[in-house]
Chains A and B, each alone.
Chain A
Amino acid sequence: DTAVSQTPKYLVTQMGNDKSIKCEQNLGHDTMYWYKQDSKKFLKIMFSYNNKELIINETVPNRFSPKSPDKAHLNLHINSLELGDSAVYFCASSQTVSYGYTFGSGTRLTVV
């Protein structure tokens, strides 16, 4: 069983479209995150949810809207996609700091 699963793995879409990425974890963790990894491999936090509640929202355009229907799921919806949104998006979950994060396999988004 995959601990943190993201779908889709690849997403190619045109500028201006709206798309969603889904994430589910079966580890029973309380906290979930979305990170963006750019072409230079820099991982930057976007959002953090704890038990379905938003606790961190970094300086992300409001075209990005996370939704957590329950603590096992954290989805990311992106409106009006732009070329600069092309990146790999990673979902992760954690329970306590000392055990670190478990990452999903990533979604490679390409906006053309």
Chain B
Amino acid sequence: GQNIDQPTEMTATEGAIVQINCTYQTSGFNGLFWYQQHAGEAPTFLSYNVLDGLEEKGRFSSFLSRSKGYSYLLLKELQMKDSASYLCAVSAQSGNTPLVFGKGTRLSVIA
């Protein structure tokens, strides 16, 4: 079976750094994704990791450790517009097997 865990809610201050963790147990592994979803909107792609290590994209970075079944999304210089849900998703097999999503972490950025 597939199991993806991430915290339900987090709160952080504008300008700070926040790390959102994700642990997964899947029958196979073909990559891990992070998506951002603002209230009432569609999820949008943030990052993709298939090899161990850190991928950096501007203020957002994503890390993967396949041996530990662990990833995190790091958001720097937080802005109010970063308040959203952050979804961890795993591709468990090759090809176009549907992504399995975690339940999402709702991040609130406060002044």
Contacts and interface: CB of A to CB of B under 8 A. Distances in A.
Determine the main DSSP class of B at the interface with A.
loop
B60 interface: no
A35 B41 CA distance: 14
Interface in A61-112: 90, 94, 97-106
A12 B44 CA distance: 26
Contact of A100 (B42, B48, B97): B48
Which 3 pairs of residues, A with B, have the shortest CB-CB distance?
A: A103-B42, A31-B96, A100-B45
A42 B42 contact: no
Interface residues of B, number: 27
A45 interface: yes
Contacts of B94: 97
A105 B30 contact: no
Interface of B: 30-31, 33, 35, 37, 41-45, 48, 50, 85, 87, 89, 91, 94-101, 103-104, 106
Given A45-B98, A97-B96, A98-B50, A106 B85 contact: no
B103 A106 contact: no
A107 B103 CA distance: 19
Given A48-B96, A55-B96, A97-B94, 19 more contacts: A31-B96, A40-B103, A41-B103, A42-B101, A43-B43, A43-B87, A43-B104, A44-B101, A90-B43, A97-B31, A97-B91, A97-B96, A98-B48, A99-B48, A100-B45, A101-B43, A103-B43, A103-B44, A105-B42
Contacts of B100: 45
B110 to A, nearest CB: 20
Size category, A interface = 20 to 34
A64 B97 CA distance: 20
Contacts of A90: 42-43
A7 interface: no
